[in-house]
């Protein structure tokens, strides 16, 4: 393990309270966010200067077109001063005050991008008000252009910076938080599994501190060392951690969590709480304090309303346009299938859809025509569990079909199902109707329409176990949103290009 990313500081005063906020910040253990923040500032400055250059070029062209070049040239120096000095610095100040450099939002989630968007709205309002107050001869098109271009460049720059951070975390472990998990063994292992699913999140558990005694872990193999009866701060120092994660019931001990928070003041060690609300996303969880008692209110999943209507419209429009645009590609694929193996171009199979209604899915045929008959002889070679049958080297797949599966192009005809309203662009995996009765947790997948892509596809596809695939599908159902759909669609592009889990 590498310890050079962390620097343990001396214990705080006896009362645990730092002298001032500046002193506390200087004693923070994990400092990966400082060079990353500098990188973001550089990217943001380049983005805002680029937007100002676009606006300046537009203003010059408009001035020449409208025969106002002399008026514009008289104010060139003033215009350039505001465009290349005041406006970029104003952007950076507003980005800072809106919390876009707050380390809690860097590298994960959508909050960072939401704050950039709010900053853009603030800049538009400020520039418009300033132009009105000074009666500046500035066109609305210039204001719109600089605002929109700056927003797009800022989002692009931060997306690139985030990918750099994720790459560093996956390959070297730099820019990550080392965590000590505090709680019972089952709770700590559940949190361990959750935070290690995504190395890009930058959370690395390095130890478990048991609250119910070491005997609870006797004879059980654990992924990280287990301790009990130790002073938590001393353990954090010993293992080189910078974060303490209090898991499940350990957070409900009266007064214990508060006293631990007091202990950590001024040490630079972060404290996070992992409540017993697994697989529930942040937008559904709200804190409602009542007489000093913070209550976590869990909202119901939003599976109807305006957002759901927009999703349905987006599905139909995208499917219709997609079929028109890729129709030549579909024709070439059909010819390739007929040349590879005589038989039908499409494979039609009954699948279970929304509310348990069945439909026939459209896919390009990738197997020989006698594939179903040959399946019985291959059952013992199944490489997955649950309701699915998968083999990495299935002899029933012909060569051109293997290429289609590797690139996921065999699923393009499912746009017909999306257009008909039987499927969605994003949703749970459509399963065959004859593989089970969908009782228990699995039936909850049927609350939404199945999708061409989904969390199962961007998280491993055929490499996932059945239980893991079901968990991801249920997570999607419980935490659906339009933003989440767009995020999955974007991630699907990378997964398809890498051909991850496609066979």
3-state secondary structure 140-182: HHHHHHHHHHHHHHHHHHHHHHHHHHHHHHHHCCCCCEEEEEE
Asked, for residue 22, whether it belongs to a domain, the answer is no
At residue 465, does pLDDT exceed 70? yes
Does 393 lie in the same domain as 490?
Answer: yes
Count: domains in the chain: 3
pLDDT of 134: 66
Asked, for residue 134, whether it belongs to a domain, the answer is yes
Does 190 lie in the same domain as 283?
Answer: yes
Q: Give dist(CA 180, CA 205) in Å, integer.
A: 6
pLDDT of 386: 54
Record the tokens describing residue 68, joined without a space.
């106002």
Mean of per-residue pLDDT scores for the chain: 78
Record the tokens describing residue 401, joined without a space.
């079909």
Lowest mean pLDDT among 149-153, 206-210, 293-297: 293-297
Q: Which residue has the tokens 């985030």?
A: 162
Average pLDDT over residues 228-254: 82
Asked, for residue 42, whether it belongs to a domain, the answer is yes
Average pLDDT over residues 194-216: 82
To the nearest 10°, report the CA torsion of 420, 422, 425, 429: -160
Distances (CA, A) of 410 to 71, 102, 181, 457: 61, 44, 44, 14
At residue 293, does pLDDT exceed 70? no
pLDDT of 13: 46
**Which has more confidence, 394 or 436?**
394
Sign of CA dihedral 380, 385, 388, 390: negative
Does 70 lie in the same domain as 194?
Answer: no
Q: Give dist(CA 366, CA 346) in Å, integer.
A: 9
pLDDT of 321: 95
Domain boundary among 298, 325, 356: 298
Identify whether the C-beta of residue 363 lies closer than 8 Å to the C-beta of residue 347.
yes
Record the tokens describing residue 333, joined without a space.
């694929």
Does 183 lie in the same domain as 59?
Answer: no
At residue 19, does pLDDT exceed 60? no
What residue numbers bound the domain in which 364 lies? Answer: 306-498
pLDDT of 283: 64
Distances (CA, A) of 82 to 116, 120, 127, 182, 422: 21, 17, 11, 53, 54
pLDDT confidence tier of residue 71, bands split at 50, 70 and 90 = very low
Asked, for residue 337, whether it belongs to a domain, the answer is yes
Does 187 lie in the same domain as 129?
Answer: no
pLDDT confidence tier of residue 259, bands split at 50, 70 and 90 = confident
Asked, for residue 8, whether it belongs to a domain, the answer is no
Record the tokens describing residue 5, joined without a space.
């990313």
Q: Give dist(CA 119, CA 100) in Å, integer.
A: 9
**Which pLDDT tens digit goes with each residue over 441-461?**
788 888 889 999 988 888 766
pLDDT of 41: 93
The two beta strands, 451-453 and 346-352, are unpaired
**Exposure pattern of 334-358 as b/e (b: 16+ CB <10 Å)?**
eeebeebbeeeeebeeebbbbeeee
The percentage of the chain sitting over the pLDDT mark of 90, rounded to a whole number, equals 18
Does 379 lie in the same domain as 489?
Answer: yes
Q: What phi and psi values does residue 203 have, to the nearest 5 degrees?
A: -120, 115
At residue 2, does pLDDT exceed 50? no
Does 167 lie in the same domain as 112?
Answer: yes
Record the tokens describing residue 133, joined without a space.
């107050």
Does 310 lie in the same domain as 249?
Answer: no
Q: Give dist(CA 400, CA 9) in Å, integer.
A: 61
**Which has more confidence, 263 or 460?**
263
At residue 23, does pLDDT exceed 60? no
Sequence length of the chain is 503
Does 312 lie in the same domain as 289?
Answer: no
Does 336 lie in the same domain as 407?
Answer: yes
Identify whether the C-beta of residue 445 lies closer than 8 Å to the C-beta of residue 474.
yes
**Which pLDDT tens digit goes with each residue over 211-238?**
877 776 677 888 898 888 888 888 998 9
Does 339 lie in the same domain as 282?
Answer: no
Asked, for residue 4, whether it belongs to a domain, the answer is no
Query: Of 200, 207, 254, which is closest to residue 233 (Cα–Cα)?
Result: 207
Domain boundary among 120, 153, 171: 171
Q: DSSP letter at 299? A: P
pLDDT confidence tier of residue 290, bands split at 50, 70 and 90 = low
Query: How open is the CA angle 466-472-473, to the nearest 5 degrees?
Result: 90
Q: How many CB atoms lie within 10 A of CB 360?
A: 13
Query: Of 98, 102, 92, which is closest to residue 34 (Cα–Cα)?
Result: 102
At residue 47, does pLDDT exceed 60? yes
pLDDT of 45: 93
Domain boundary among 271, 298, 325: 298
Q: Give dist(CA 474, CA 447) in Å, integer.
A: 10
Does 232 lie in the same domain as 129?
Answer: no
Record the tokens describing residue 331, joined without a space.
């024709």
**Which has more confidence, 360 or 23?**
360
Q: Give dist(CA 459, CA 449) in Å, integer.
A: 19
Give Cβ neighbours of residue 168 (< 8 Å, ≥ 6 apart): 174, 175
Which residues face 209 on adjacent strands? 182, 227
Asked, for residue 423, whether it belongs to a domain, the answer is yes
Query: How open is the CA angle 303-307-308, to the nearest 5 degrees?
Result: 45
Domain harbouring 200, CATH code = 3.40.50.720
At residue 121, does pLDDT exceed 60? yes
Give Cβ neighbours of residue 209 (< 8 Å, ≥ 6 apart): 180, 181, 182, 227, 228, 230, 232, 235
Distances (CA, A) of 411 to 45, 263, 396, 432: 42, 56, 18, 15
Asked, for residue 17, whether it belongs to a domain, the answer is no
Q: Which SS3 state, helix, strand or coil, does residue 206 take? A: strand
Q: What phi and psi values does residue 353 have, to the nearest 5 degrees?
A: -115, -150
**Which has more confidence, 24 or 84?**
84
pLDDT of 502: 58
């Amino acid at each position: 393990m590498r310890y050079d990313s962390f620097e343990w500081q001396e214990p705080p005063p006896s009362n645990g309270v730092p002298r001032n906020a500046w002193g506390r910040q200087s004693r923070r253990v994990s400092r990966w966010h400082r060079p990353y923040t500098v990188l973001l500032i550089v990217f943001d400055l380049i983005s805002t200067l680029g937007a100002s250059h676009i606006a300046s070029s537009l203003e010059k062209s408009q001035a020449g077109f409208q025969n106002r070049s002399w008026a514009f040239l008289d104010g060139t120096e003033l215009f350039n001063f505001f465009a290349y000095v005041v406006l970029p610095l104003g952007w950076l100040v507003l980005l800072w005050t809106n919390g876009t450099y707050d380390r809690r939002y860097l590298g994960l989630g959508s909050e960072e991008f939401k704050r950039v968007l709010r900053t853009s709205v603030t800049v538009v309002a400020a520039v418009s008000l300033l132009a009105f107050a000074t009666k500046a001869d500035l066109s609305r098109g210039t204001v719109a252009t600089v605002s929109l271009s700056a927003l797009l460049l800022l989002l692009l720059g931060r997306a690139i910076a985030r990918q750099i951070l994720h790459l560093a975390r996956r390959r070297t472990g730099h820019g990550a938080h080392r965590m000590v998990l505090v709680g019972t063994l089952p709770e700590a292992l559940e949190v361990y599994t959750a935070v290690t699913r995504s190395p890009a999140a930058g959370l690395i558990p390095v130890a478990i501190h048991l609250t119910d005694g070491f005997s609870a872990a006797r004879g059980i193999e654990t992924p990280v060392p287990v301790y009990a009866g130790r002073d938590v701060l001393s353990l954090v120092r010993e293992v080189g951690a910078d974060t303490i994660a209090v898991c499940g019931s350990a957070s409900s001990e009266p007064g214990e969590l508060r006293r631990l928070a007091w202990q950590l003041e001024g040490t630079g060690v972060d404290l996070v709480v992992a409540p017993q609300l697994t697989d529930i996303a942040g937008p559904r969880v709200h804190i409602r304090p009542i007489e000093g008692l913070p209550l976590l209110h869990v909202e119901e999943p939003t599976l109807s309303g305006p957002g759901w209507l927009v999703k349905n419209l987006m599905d139909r429009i995208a499917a219709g346009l997609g079929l028109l645009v890729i129709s030549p590609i579909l024709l070439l694929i059909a010819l390739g299938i007929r040349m590879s193996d005589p038989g039908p171009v499409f494979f039609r199979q009954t699948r279970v859809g929304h509310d348990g209604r069945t439909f026939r899915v459209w896919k390009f045929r990738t197997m020989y025509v006698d594939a179903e008959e040959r399946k019985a002889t291959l059952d013992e070679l199944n490489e997955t569990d649950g309701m699915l049958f998968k083999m990495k080297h299935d002899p029933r797949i012909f060569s051109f079909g293997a290429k289609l599966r590797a690139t996921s192009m065999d699923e393009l005809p499912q746009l017909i199902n999306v257009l008909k309203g039987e499927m969605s662009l994003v949703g749970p995996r459509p399963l065959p109707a004859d593989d089970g009765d969908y009782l228990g947790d699995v039936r909850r997948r049927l609350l939404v329409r199945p999708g061409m892509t989904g969390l199962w596809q961007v998280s491993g596809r055929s490499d996932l176990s059945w239980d893991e695939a079901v968990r991801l599908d249920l997570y999607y159902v419980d935490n659906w949103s339009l933003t989440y759909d767009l995020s999955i669609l974007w991630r699907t592009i990378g997964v398809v290009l890498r051909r991850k889990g496609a066979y």
